[in-house]
């Protein structure tokens, strides 16, 4: 069953159209990837799904409810979480305070204590340093903190934008391992990434976007063997 469905979506900024006739489905419990070069429209699509941008036309459905006219706060209430590119955190707040910001909405605030323990179990380093200011963390640690904050609302669907951006190979692998664990836990993941090989190795299904249009879709393992993908995105 599709937890998210995008139908004939057209999106632009002012008079400049960025996305054309986007159609996609994300099945519940799956890892779905969106691949594409910089400027292809990946982040614009995530911003539209999360309610930050309103489409010119088309529809976005989440859990069988149309959400493209809802504000972001209402979409979050319904179980969708969005982690922006770069693992942005509140630098002058502690790790614990950053995590609590993920539960700021009154619907989640009362459950923050057990959710904090859940995040500490998933990311032990966050508990060890919970009183430390976020600005003193490494890039990889900040990404873990940003992921933990995104999960504090106990979402059923996570949108992740460039999780591995700027990370060392070791930290990037740790991030992908976390995504696989979320999948095991039954959380649906929509992953926008430029780390093509690692992404397709874990993705159940994948889409490719070029110049604002979906140009390819298939199972992740199948796409990894496609000649065009290997030449255009893997350089082989």
CA 8 to chain centre: 21
Task: Name the residue ranges covered by the structural domains of the chain.
Answer: 2-232
In this prediction, residues 11-26 reach a mean pLDDT of 96
Which tokens belong to 124?
Answer: 């032990």
pTM for this prediction: 0.90
Question: What local confidence, expressed as pLDDT, does residue 153 receive?
Answer: 83
3-class secondary structure per residue, the chain: CEEEEEEEEEEEECCEEEEEEEEEEEECCCEEEEECCCCCCHHHHHHHHCCCCCCCEEEEEECCEECCCCCHHHHHHCCEEEECCCCCCCCCCEHHHHHHHCCCCHHHHCCHHHHHHHHHHHCHHHHHCCCCEHHHCCHHHHHHHHHHHHHCCCCCEEEEECCCCCCCHHHHHHHHHHHHHHHHCCCEEEEECCCHHHHHHHCCEEEEEECCEEEEEEEHHHHHCCHHHHHHCCCC
Question: What local confidence, expressed as pLDDT, does residue 138 receive?
Answer: 86
Mean residue pLDDT of the chain comes to 90
Higher pLDDT among residues 110 and 164, named by residue: 164
Q: How many CB atoms lie within 10 A of CB 74?
A: 12
Output the CATH code of domain 2-232: 3.40.50.300
Question: What local confidence, expressed as pLDDT, does residue 113 receive?
Answer: 83
In this prediction, residues 117-134 reach a mean pLDDT of 91
Instruction: Evaluate if residue 182 carries a pLDDT over 60.
Output: yes
Model confidence over 150-160: pLDDT tens digits? Answer: 998 889 999 99
């Amino acid at each position: 069953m599709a937890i998210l469905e995008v139908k004939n979506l057209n999106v632009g900024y002012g008079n400049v159209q960025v996305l054309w006739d986007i159609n996609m489905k994300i099945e519940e419990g799956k890892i779905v990837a969106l691949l594409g070069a910089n400027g292809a429209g990946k982040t614009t699509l995530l911003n539209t799904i999360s309610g930050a941008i309103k489409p010119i036309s088309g529809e976005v459905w989440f859990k069988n409810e149309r959400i493209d006219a809802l504000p972001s706060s209402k979409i979050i209430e319904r179980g969708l979480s969005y982690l922006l590119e770069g693992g942005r955190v509140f630098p002058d707040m502690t790790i614990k305070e950053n995590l609590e910001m993920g539960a700021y909405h009154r619907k989640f605030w009362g459950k923050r204590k057990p959710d904090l323990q859940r995040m500490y179990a998933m990311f032990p380093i966050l508990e060890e340093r919970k009183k430390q200011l976020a600005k003193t963390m490494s890039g990889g640690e900040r990404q873990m903190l940003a992921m933990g904050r995104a999960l504090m609302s106990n979402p059923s669907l996570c949108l992740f934008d460039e999780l591995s951006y700027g990370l060392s190979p070791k930290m990037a692998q740790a991030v992908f391992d976390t995504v696989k664990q979320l999948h095991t836990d039954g959380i649906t993941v929509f992953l926008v990434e430029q780390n093509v090989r690692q992404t397709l190795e874990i993705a159940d299904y994948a889409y490719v976007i070029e110049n604002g249009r979906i140009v390819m879709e298939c199972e992740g393992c199948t796409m990894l063997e496609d000649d065009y993908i290997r030449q255009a995105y893997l350089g082989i």
